[in-house]
Amino acid sequence: MSPEKLDSFTDPAYMIHEGVDRIKWVQFDGGVAFARNSGKLVSKYDYYRKSDANSSTAAGFLMLAAVGVTDSHPSAVTSGMFLPVNMGDDITGVMPTSNRAAVEVDRGQTFDVLVDSDGRQFVDLNSTAGGLVQLDEILDDDGEVVSVRIPEATRWGNL
């Protein structure tokens, strides 16, 4: 049974929705920033960084409300800095959607991730080419906030 949808998603700190925690402190690229009202999906390159349209795998979800932005901790990320990432196999993270509202037929489908010019991360509901995340639940009445999981096919490493 799905939880009741919210009329609106009032706390813009998109974080973990549900699942068993498996948190690792991992090294990040310098200059990485995550807005409070953005997705927190992380990919592994040489160091870890924000997943985007070029990411073919994802490792987990950052466990901070914001990073690299004013009034958050840490306020700047230097190359090699360690930050907590939840790499649990069944973890779902909350993310905003882009390009259209999520509808019930989207549940279980895979979609790409988009980062806009302000550095905010979204589930791109118009693009399925890479299928980086799988839509799990629609969390608000407007279909603008969803929970997603990393499918096994695009997961970097399994913990």
Query: Can you tell me the distance from the alpha carbon of 159 to that of 157, in angstroms, rounded to the nearest whole number?
Result: 7
Task: Please give the C-alpha separations between residue 94 and each of 14, 31, 71, 78, 134, in angstroms, as whole numbers.
Answer: 5, 23, 22, 26, 12
Residue-level pLDDT at 63: 85
| Ordered per-residue pLDDT tens for the chain, 159 residues | 444 544 444 455 566 667 677 888 999 998 888 887 888 999 998 899 999 988 999 999 988 877 776 665 677 788 888 988 988 888 888 999 999 999 999 999 999 999 988 888 999 999 988 899 999 999 988 999 999 999 998 988 754
Evaluate whether 64 touches 73 at the Cβ level (below 8 Å): yes
Residue-level pLDDT at 71: 61
Residue-level pLDDT at 118: 82
- Can you list the positions of beta strands (E) in the chain? 16-18, 23-28, 41-44, 48-50, 60-62, 81-86, 92-98, 110-115, 121-124, 133-138, 145-149
| Domain 22-154 class, CATH top level | mainly beta
Query: Can you tell me the distance from the alpha carbon of 108 to that of 76, in angstroms, rounded to the nearest whole number?
Result: 36
Query: Can you tell me the distance from the alpha carbon of 87 to that of 96, in angstroms, rounded to the nearest whole number?
Result: 20
